[in-house]
């Protein structure tokens, strides 16, 4: 009887999710496999994908670099927050969350203002006689945009993992003769692996699929896979090719996240959803 | 004498192909204090949950006052439960926890002559019943405390009050004292027995603590592996265990192989002893149980058997000594000190020798050859939690 | 070590907040260019409220996010209770399904939903505008649901299962037991799920961009189109006001939480 209730309660939800996540993916596959003009079955879209391999590769490289930079920058911050007093922890956690709640479009536009050839940074540099430097429309600017936008997604899961590490383990390690660096390398770091993995995933996935950041901060040679897809739908009007590219992007993310998860084995509650 | 209230008939229960209860038959009398006793995973909690209505058996009948209640949900049974970890509602204070059942209760409207219209209990009535019950469990003055601001013993008493205030026909108690320390547990045992006698409510009590079961119950049901091993009064269970499992689980026992030569005569260790049992087939192989406290130590010359002391442990009331007889080690409890290596004789009176039929448990228990290991295991067991 | 961490933390916060500071400063700028501060003025704030067009977009965003997060919260909580009681195999399937929108890139979710709506709308129903307010709402509910489920499920798992048994033992029907006991126990999960869903919904650009039509546009989608049109400086004023609002909300939530924790520890120490 209880089991029937469970099915009854969850069935509408499951139906909804099938209708609006699984079936749409099926529709994507359908579009990917049909010819844009005739609507007949065709492998033409998939055959065209080869052209976009460099773009795909570039997207992967940019987002992996961004994820690694986020890790290097985010870890000390997360570690610091996790070792603050309870009040400071709450306050700093809030400060990390806050940018995530503000429009990421406007915040990226602010970077345009900062990095432009006539922008704030260059005019400051000009006052001390340097520059103007070419900051915007470079690969560096795109990576900067990614790091800036998705750094909180790294810090929060890292913090959640580090704060849960039992202090007694650190004391035990010290008791057994580890110095500060050894404690970190042998105890703290291995125990933060779940947080590192979910942070990497949470930075990598939106970075690899972004189109806004590369459009605003990148140039003609920093086109990402997200840009290409967006153009197919909103400008190029070849949704079939866009669908094929979306499938590729989805598979790419699936493969990357499962490789990441393979690293950490089972992780039930490694990441927080934010 | 008292009439039957609950009957479980051919109950079978399985979770994912794992059989938990196998053809269980049991009846429970009105106003009885019945204990389901057994090790972890024996099916005692499942039995309790079936009576409470939280699980439905795969097959078999649950009868209440002769009516089949298999499909009656828990909220329509005149049965209340004291849960293992109390299950007090954390968002309500003590008063609201105890009043919870009363607020849901509906009684025939006294103002309605047909007696069909149902109304809720009045706030005054609820309040007076709750306060009365809190007084019974000595928790007056704690009404506005939240459960997490109470000690374990106090939470325990709130759980009992919350169940009893509904005046159920039957109270189910699932290891209610497991989380309390020893002193408090003893006090609560007396308290529960007192409440049971004062209210006349049928108690069905689940525990893995044999001492608790023996000291509180009218009837003890010993269970293992989803089957009832023995049902009886505590004295009978202790004195006349039905098989090696019961003998070992209830108290300490030396269990040896023997042959029943004829009524009142049993042979073991190459000697014929007089005993008080009869009704076995001639020359039937049997298990012989001898309780450690029944054995008399005598000078060598007067002993039925002669053995050597291999270890001695001081237990407060007595010494536990392990004595080796022809390669077989017995546990004997004695108030006298016998040093390791001493050679002693023992005498066995006929009423100290209990004869049991052979069972699937024969040969598994009652050998103290590795005494210290078994002792450890026993103390560990006591702290174990059920299922 | 600790000192180094502190310095890095401060620098990172500077890094995170400088672009926002730029936007805040721009809201008081008399000039249109974000890069040059020409003079101080409240003009942009006045214009924001006089013109009203941005406010209307904000209102649209709020309508969608409030409706979507409310629907997802109720729907998701009910579903979570159901999923929690499913047998392990079905539960695993349900959780896999739940994780699809979480792991899929937003752009894929957006594209797939937009293709579905166009496919169903244009090909099957013969509509000319298949992307409407309703498709936007459906999309938002869909990506909000997992946030609610993933926040409520752990609370259900943590909850002592015998609490519901106890409620039914004392006379509650399963529905009464849910409202009188379970709901209180999982409330923190429901609240955080709802808040997350709401903020995700309010700030969503990528998915909305693909599934919204011309008749109902949300604020982020409109801001995106400013990359083609000139940016109106009053948007900085709006940003500043929203920043203050969210900051105030967060501080308030923190204070409530700290107050609650304090009360809890007090009552606990009084107990034993």
Write down the pLDDT at residue B117.
Answer: 83
**Top CATH class, C58-230:** mainly alpha
Is residue A154 a contact partner of residue A198, using CB atoms and an 8 Å limit?
no
Out of A90, A151, A233, closest to residue C210 by CB: A233
Write down the pLDDT at residue C266.
Answer: 64
Is residue C62 over pLDDT 60?
yes
Is residue A76 over pLDDT 70?
yes
Any chains having at least 3 CB pairs less than 8 A from chain C are A, B
Is residue A269 over pLDDT 50?
no
CA atoms within 13 A on the CB side of C95: 17
User: Across the strands, what pairs with B171?
Assistant: B80, B203
* CA–CA distance, B35 with B26 (Å, rounded to integer): 12
Q: Is cis: bond before A132, omega within 30 of 0?
A: yes
Cα-only R_g, chain B: 25
The more confidently predicted of residues B12 and C225 is B12
Q: Which helix (H) or strand (E) holds B171?
A: strand B170-174
* Chain A residues 44-83 within an 8 A CB cutoff of chain C: 73-74, 76-77, 79-81, 83
Is residue B127 a contact partner of residue B103, using CB atoms and an 8 Å limit?
no
Interface check A180 vs C, CB under 8 A: yes
Q: What is the 3-state secondary structure (H, E, C) of A75-108?
A: HHHHHHHHCCCHHHHHHHHHHHHHHHHCCHHHHH
* CA–CA distance, B331 with B375 (Å, rounded to integer): 11
Interface check A153 vs C, CB under 8 A: no
Interface check A102 vs C, CB under 8 A: yes
pLDDT digits (tens, 9 = 90+) for C156-197: 999 998 999 999 999 999 999 999 999 999 999 999 999 999
* CA–CA distance, B42 with B9 (Å, rounded to integer): 18
Averaged over A202-227, what is the pLDDT?
92
Residues with Cβ within 8 Å of B127's Cβ and at least 6 positions away in sequence, in order, are B99
- Residues of chain C neighbouring A1 (CB-CB closer than 8 A): none
Q: Verify whether the Cβ–Cβ distance A9 to C82 is below 8 Å.
A: yes
Interface check A1 vs C, CB under 8 A: no
pLDDT digits (tens, 9 = 90+) for B89-109: 999 999 999 999 999 988 888
Global confidence as pTM: 0.85
* CA–CA distance, C113 with C127 (Å, rounded to integer): 16
Averaged over B168-189, what is the pLDDT?
90
**Size of the B and C interface in Cβ pairs below 8 Å:** 75
Residue B169's nearest CA partner among B374, B314, B29 is B29
| Window from B82-86, B376-380, C77-81 with minimum mean pLDDT | B376-380
| Window from A99-113, A247-261, C227-241 with minimum mean pLDDT | C227-241
pLDDT digits (tens, 9 = 90+) for B328-375: 888 999 998 999 999 999 988 898 899 999 888 888 887 776 665 444
- Residues of chain C neighbouring A109 (CB-CB closer than 8 A): 23, 34, 231
State the fold for domain A51-264.
Answer: MetI-like fold (1.10.3720)
Q: Which helix (H) or strand (E) holds B62?
A: strand B59-64
The more confidently predicted of residues B326 and A19 is A19
Averaged over A179-192, what is the pLDDT?
89
Interface check B142 vs C, CB under 8 A: no
Averaged over A241-247, what is the pLDDT?
93
**Domains with residue ranges and CATH for chain B:** 4-236 (3.40.50.300), 252-383 (2.40.50.140)
Averaged over B148-160, what is the pLDDT?
92
- Residues of chain A neighbouring C174 (CB-CB closer than 8 A): 5
Averaged over C109-127, what is the pLDDT?
89
* Chain B residues 71-90 within an 8 A CB cutoff of chain C: 73-75, 79-81, 83-85, 87-90
Interface check C70 vs A, CB under 8 A: no
Q: Verify whether the Cβ–Cβ distance C17 to A10 is below 8 Å.
A: no
Any chains having at least 3 CB pairs less than 8 A from chain A are C
pLDDT digits (tens, 9 = 90+) for B259-275: 999 899 999 888 899 99
Percent of chain A with pLDDT over 70: 95
CA atoms within 13 A on the CB side of B358: 10
| A53 phi, psi to nearest 5 deg | -55, -45
Residue A202's nearest CA partner among A102, A103, A108, A271 is A271
Is residue B28 a contact partner of residue B211, using CB atoms and an 8 Å limit?
no
Is residue A159 a contact partner of residue A82, using CB atoms and an 8 Å limit?
yes
| Window from B241-245, B372-376, C129-133, C251-255 with minimum mean pLDDT | B372-376
Give C96 to chain B, closest Cα distance, Å: 23
Is residue A271 over pLDDT 50?
no
* C264 confidence band (pLDDT: 50, 70, 90): low
Write down the pLDDT at residue C37.
Answer: 83
Write down the pLDDT at residue C267.
Answer: 59
Out of C84, C107, C243, closest to residue A226 by CB: C107
Q: Verify whether the Cβ–Cβ distance A73 to C8 is below 8 Å.
A: yes
* CA–CA distance, C205 with C127 (Å, rounded to integer): 25
- Residues of chain C neighbouring A119 (CB-CB closer than 8 A): 35
User: What spatial distance separates the first Cα and last Cα of chain B, rounded to whole Å?
Assistant: 35
The ranges assigned to domains in chain A are 51-264
* C270 confidence band (pLDDT: 50, 70, 90): low
Is residue B306 over pLDDT 70?
yes
pLDDT digits (tens, 9 = 90+) for B232-241: 999 999 988 9
Q: Verify whether the Cβ–Cβ distance A119 to C13 is below 8 Å.
A: no
């Amino acid at each position: 009887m209880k089991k029937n209730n469970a099915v009854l309660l969850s069935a509408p939800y499951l139906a909804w999710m099938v209708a609006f996540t699984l079936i749409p993916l099926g529709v994507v596959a359908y579009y990917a496999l049909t010819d844009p003009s005739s609507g007949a079955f065709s492998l033409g879209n998939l055959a065209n994908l080869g052209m976009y391999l460099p773009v795909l590769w570039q997207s992967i490289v940019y987002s992996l670099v961004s994820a690694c930079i986020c890790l290097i920058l985010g870890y000390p911050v997360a570690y610091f927050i996790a070792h603050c007093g309870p009040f400071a922890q709450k306050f700093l956690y809030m400060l990390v969350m806050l940018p995530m709640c503000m429009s990421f479009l406007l915040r990226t536009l602010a970077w345009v203002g900062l990095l432009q050839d006539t922008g704030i940074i260059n005019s400051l540099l000009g006052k001390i006689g340097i520059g103007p430097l070419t900051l915007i429309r470079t690969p560096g600017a795109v990576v900067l945009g990614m790091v800036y936008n998705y750094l909180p997604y790294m810090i929060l899961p890292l913090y959640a993992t580090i704060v849960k590490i039992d202090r007694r383990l650190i004391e035990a390690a010290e008791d057994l003769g580890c110095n500060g660096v050894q404690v970190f390398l042998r105890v703290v770091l291995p125990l933060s692996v779940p947080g590192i993995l979910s942070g990497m995933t949470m930075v990598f996935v939106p970075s690899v699929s972004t189109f806004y950041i590369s459009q605003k901060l990148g140039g003609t040679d920093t086109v990402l896979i997200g840009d290409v897809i967006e153009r197919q739908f909103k400008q190029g009007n070849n949704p079939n090719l866009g669908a094929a590219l979306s499938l590729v992007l989805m598979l790419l993310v699936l493969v990357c996240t499962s490789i990441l998860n393979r690293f950490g084995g089972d992780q039930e509650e490694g990441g927080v959803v934010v | 004498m008292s009439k039957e209230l609950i009957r479980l008939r051919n109950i079978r229960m399985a979770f994912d192909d794992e059989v938990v209860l196998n053809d269980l038959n049991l009846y429970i009398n009105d106003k009885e204090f019945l204990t389901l006793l057994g090790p972890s995973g024996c099916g005692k909690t499942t039995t309790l949950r079936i009576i409470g209505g939280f699980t439905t058996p795969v097959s078999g009948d649950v009868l209440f006052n002769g009516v089949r209640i298999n499909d009656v949900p828990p909220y329509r049974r005149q049965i209340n439960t004291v849960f293992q970890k109390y299950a007090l509602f954390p968002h309500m204070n003590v008063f609201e926890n105890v009043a919870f059942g009363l607020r849901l209760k509906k009684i025939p409207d006294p103002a309605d002559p047909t007696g069909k219209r149902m109304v809720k209990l009045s706030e005054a009535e609820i309040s007076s019943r709750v306060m009365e019950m809190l007084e019974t469990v000595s928790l007056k003055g704690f009404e506005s405390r939240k459960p997490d601001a109470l000690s374990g013993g106090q939470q325990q008493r709130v759980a009992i009050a919350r169940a009893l205030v509904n005046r159920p026909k039957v109270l189910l108690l699932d290891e209610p004292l497991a989380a309390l320390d020893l002193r408090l547990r003893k006090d609560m045992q007396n308290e529960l027995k007192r409440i049971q006698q004062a209210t006349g409510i049928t108690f069905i009590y689940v525990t893995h603590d044999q001492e608790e079961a023996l000291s509180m119950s009218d009837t003890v049901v010993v269970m293992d592996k989803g089957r009832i091993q023995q049902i009886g009064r505590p004295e009978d269970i202790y004195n006349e265990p039905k098989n090696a499992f019961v003998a070992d689980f209830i108290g300490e026992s030396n269990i040896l192989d023997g042959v029943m030569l004829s009524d009142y005569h049993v042979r073991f260790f190459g000697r014929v002893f007089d005993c008080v049992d009869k009704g076995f087939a001639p020359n039937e192989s049997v298990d012989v149980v001898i309780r450690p406290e029944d054995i008399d130590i005598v000078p060598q010359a007067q002993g039925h058997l002669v053995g050597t002391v291999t270890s001695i442990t001081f237990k407060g009331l007595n010494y536990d000594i392990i004595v080796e007889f022809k390669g077989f080690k017995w546990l004997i409890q004695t108030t006298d000190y016998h040093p390791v290596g001493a050679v002693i004789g023992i005498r066995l009176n006929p009423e100290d020798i209990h004869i049991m039929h052979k069972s699937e448990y024969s040969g598994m228990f009652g050998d103290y050859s590795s005494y210290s290991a078994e002792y450890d295991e026993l103390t560990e067991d006591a702290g174990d939690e059920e299922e | 070590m600790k000192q180094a961490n502190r310095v890095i933390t401060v620098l990172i916060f500077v890094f995170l907040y400088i672009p926002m500071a730029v936007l805040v400063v721009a809201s008081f700028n008399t000039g249109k260019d974000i890069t040059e501060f020409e003079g101080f003025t409240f003009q942009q704030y006045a214009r924001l409220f006089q013109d009203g067009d941005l406010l209307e977009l904000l209102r649209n965003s709020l309508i969608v996010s409030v409706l979507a997060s409310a629907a997802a919260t109720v729907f998701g909580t009910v579903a979570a209770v159901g999923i929690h009681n499913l047998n392990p195999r079905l539960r695993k399937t349900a959780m896999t399904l739940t994780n699809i929108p979480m792991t899929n890139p937003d752009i894929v979710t957006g594209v797939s939903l937009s293709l579905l709506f166009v496919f169903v709308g244009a090909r099957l129903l013969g509509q000319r505008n298949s992307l409407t307010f309703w498709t936007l709402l459906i999309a938002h509910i869909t990506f909000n649901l997992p946030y609610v489920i993933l926040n409520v499920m752990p609370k259900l798992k943590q909850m002592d299962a015998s609490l519901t048994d106890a409620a039914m033992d004392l006379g509650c029907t399963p529905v009464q037991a849910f409202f009188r006991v379970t709901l209180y126990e999982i409330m923190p999960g429901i609240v955080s799920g709802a808040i997350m869903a709401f903020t995700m919904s309010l700030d969503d650009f990528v998915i909305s961009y693909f599934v919204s039509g011309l008749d109902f546009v949300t604020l982020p989608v409109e801001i995106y189109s400013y990359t083609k049109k000139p940016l109106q400086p009053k948007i900085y004023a709006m940003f500043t006001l929203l920043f203050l609002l969210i900051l105030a909300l967060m501080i308030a939530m923190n204070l409530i939480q700290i107050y609650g924790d304090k009360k809890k520890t007090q009552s606990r120490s009084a107990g034993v």
